[in-house]
Amino acid sequence: MGTVVTADIWRVRRRFIPAALLAVAQDRRALRSLPGARFVKILGTAPSFDSRGADLTRWMILTAWADATAAEAARQSMTLAAWQRRSEESWTATLRPLTAHGSWSRRQPFETGPDSWDGPVAAVTRARLVPVKALRFWRAVAVPAADLGHRSGLCLALAMGEAPIGVQGTFSVWRDAAALREYAYGRPAHRDVVRRTREVGWYAEELFARFAVLSYRGTVDGRDPLEQPS
C-alpha cells in the first residue's frame, strides 16, 4: 500500500488538560522513535478556523507511517495508550495520500500514490503566516470560514495548529471528492481568498493535501461523523 497516514482526534477529560499540555512537548520524540514513523505532529485545535481561542480538551495527532504494518503496531505503543487513558472520546482514521502540494516544516511529508478514490476524503491545509500580514489574513478568511460549516457533504471540520494558541490550518472530512471540490473551487468567497493569497503573500510556508479515508473508528462529539454528514 505504501505510505499510510493516521489521524487521531482525542477529547481529553478536563482534569487531564495539564497532562495533555505536558505530553505535547514530551511525546513528539517518543512517537518519532516508533518503527516506521516518518512524520509526526501533535496539534491543538479550535472550534472554528477563524477562532482565536484554543479548545484545550481536544487534540489531534497526525502521523505518516512507512506502511500499514507500522501504523497498526503503533496502536500498542505506550504513548498512544496514554492519550487513550486521558480521553473520554476518540476518533481514528487511516488515510492514503492522494495529492499533496507545498511543504510542512520545510519538507513534503506525504508520499502520494494514484489519485483515484470514490469514497470519503480528508483534507489537510496548513500554513505558517507572515507575522506582519496575519491580521489581514484573519479578516480575509472570516467569510469562507463561516461558509465551511454549512457546506453539503462536509462530515467533520477542525481548526488545528502546532501550538494551542494560534490556529494554522484545518482538518476536514468530506463525503466524496466532489463535495470538497465544490467548496474549494465553487464558492466565490473561498476562490477570492485563494486569489488574494497569490497577491498578498500571507504565507511563509503552506501545504494542502488530500487523502482517501480507508477506515475509521470512534466518535466525535458523540456521533459517527461519516454516518451523519452535516
The per-residue pLDDT for range 64-113, each reduced to its tens digit, is: 999 999 999 999 999 999 999 999 999 999 999 999 999 998 899 999 98
Instruction: Report pLDDT for 230.
Output: 46
Q: Which residues contact 65 (CB under 8 A, 6 or more apart)?
A: 3, 4, 5, 6, 36, 37, 38, 71, 74
What nine digits make up the cell of 196? 488574494
Rounded Cα distance between 63 and 7, Å, is 7
Q: Tell me the pTM.
A: 0.88
Instruction: Report pLDDT for 199.
Output: 65
Q: In which band, very low, low, confident or very high, does the pLDDT at 187 lie, cut at 50, 70 and 90?
A: low
- Residue by residue, DSSP assigns 91-115 as EEEEEEEEEEEE-BTTB--------
- Residue by residue, DSSP assigns 169-200 as EEEEEESSHHHHHHHHHH-HHHHHHHHHHHHH
Q: What percent of the chain has pLDDT over 90?
A: 57
Place of cell 512537548: 25
Residue range 163-181: mean pLDDT, rounded: 81
What nine digits make up the cell of 224? 459517527
Residue range 204-227: mean pLDDT, rounded: 93
Which domains does the chain show, CATH number per domain?
4-218 (3.30.70.100)
| Phi, psi at 171, each rounded to 5° | -125, 125
Instruction: Report pLDDT for 46.
Output: 83
Rounded Cα distance between 143 and 193, Å, is 10
